[in-house]
Amino acid sequence: MKIKTEITSLKQTEELASAFANILKPPMVVLLKGDLGSGKTTFVKSVVLSLGCKDLVTSPTFTLLNTYNAKFPIYHFDMYRLSSAEEAMNVGFEEYFDKQRLDGVCFVEWPENVEGLIRDVDFEIDIEKKGENRRTMTIKEGNHAGN
Ligand SMILES: Nc1ncnc2c1ncn2[C@@H]1O[C@H](COP(=O)(O)OP(=O)(O)OP(=O)(O)O)[C@@H](O)[C@H]1O
Ligand SMILES: [Mg+2]
């Protein structure tokens, strides 16, 4: 499956994110790719809100991981400040990507920085910034085991 869509407003991003939220079921891993400021955090924020969590959703830029107790746990990672899978393992991130143990859904910004850490991917979302509010979003199914 692959969906490619042109977004022209923040509201459309929120709508796409809440539609996407409906297909989530633990354990799942979702990668988010796209330049700085393309809208990765914004997308996760809308997913968390639409899954009924009222906590303030902020970027995990400095914390590396934010956890939200929504309908199920949402683990929101930002690997921007890391530069290898080994660094991610040193801070204990490996266990989150073990599908046998994962009790929620992981969203990962900047997965490119931890190449080799995440082997089992359910979805990859690519966001391309085309203008102030315009984005091209591509959602494709990942290579999760047994697929
Ligand atoms: N259609 C849109 N979809 C998503 N974000 C939009 C859209 N239009 C405008 N924006 C704005 O673009 C910015 C996206 O920032 P956001 O923090 O989500 O990016 P990011 O991809 O997570 O960046 P980083 O790599 O720095 O973490 C926000 O200020 C948001 O309001
Ligand atoms: Mg971000």
8 A C-beta contact, residue 82 and residue 88: yes
CB atoms within 10 A of CB 36: 8
**The pair of three-digit structure tokens given for residue 5, joined into one six-digit string:** 């869509």
d(C-alpha 59, C-alpha 108), whole Å:
11
Nearest ligand to the C-alpha atom of residue 45: 1
Give percent of the chain with pLDDT exceeding 90: 94
Give residue 39 CA to ligand 2 midpoint distance, Å.
7
Pocket test for ligand 1, best of 13, 33, 42 (most atoms within 8 A of CB): 42
Distance CA 128, CA 39 (A): 9
Q: Look at ligand 1, atom 29, and give the residue with the nearest C-alpha.
A: 37
Residue 31 has pLDDT above 50, yes or no: yes
Cα of 22 from ligand 1 centre, angstroms: 22
pLDDT at 88 over 60: yes
Q: Hey, what domains does the chain have and what are their CATH numbers?
A: 2-141 (3.40.50.300)
- Select from 69, 60, 70 the least CA-distant residue to 109: 60
pLDDT of 116 strictly over 60: yes
What's the mean per-residue pLDDT of the chain? Answer: 96
- What are the helix and strand counts (H, E) for the chain? 3, 7
Ligand 1 geometric centre to CA of 96 (Å): 25
Q: Which ligand is nearest to the CA of 33?
A: 1
For the cut 70, the answer to whether the pLDDT of residue 43 exceeds it is yes
pLDDT at 145: 55
pLDDT on residue 129? 98
Going by pLDDT thresholds of 50, 70 and 90, the confidence category of residue 63 is very high
pLDDT higher than threshold 70 for residue 128: yes
Give the residue-averaged pLDDT of 70-83.
Answer: 97
3-state DSSP assignment of residue 127: strand
Atom of ligand 1 at shortest distance to CA of 135? 1
Average pLDDT of the residues in 70-92: 97
Please report the DSSP string for 50-102 in residue order.
HTT--SPP--TTTTSEEEEESSSEEEEEE-TT--SHHHHHHTT-GGGG-TTT-
Is residue 141's pLDDT more than 50? yes
Residue 11 has pLDDT above 80, yes or no: yes
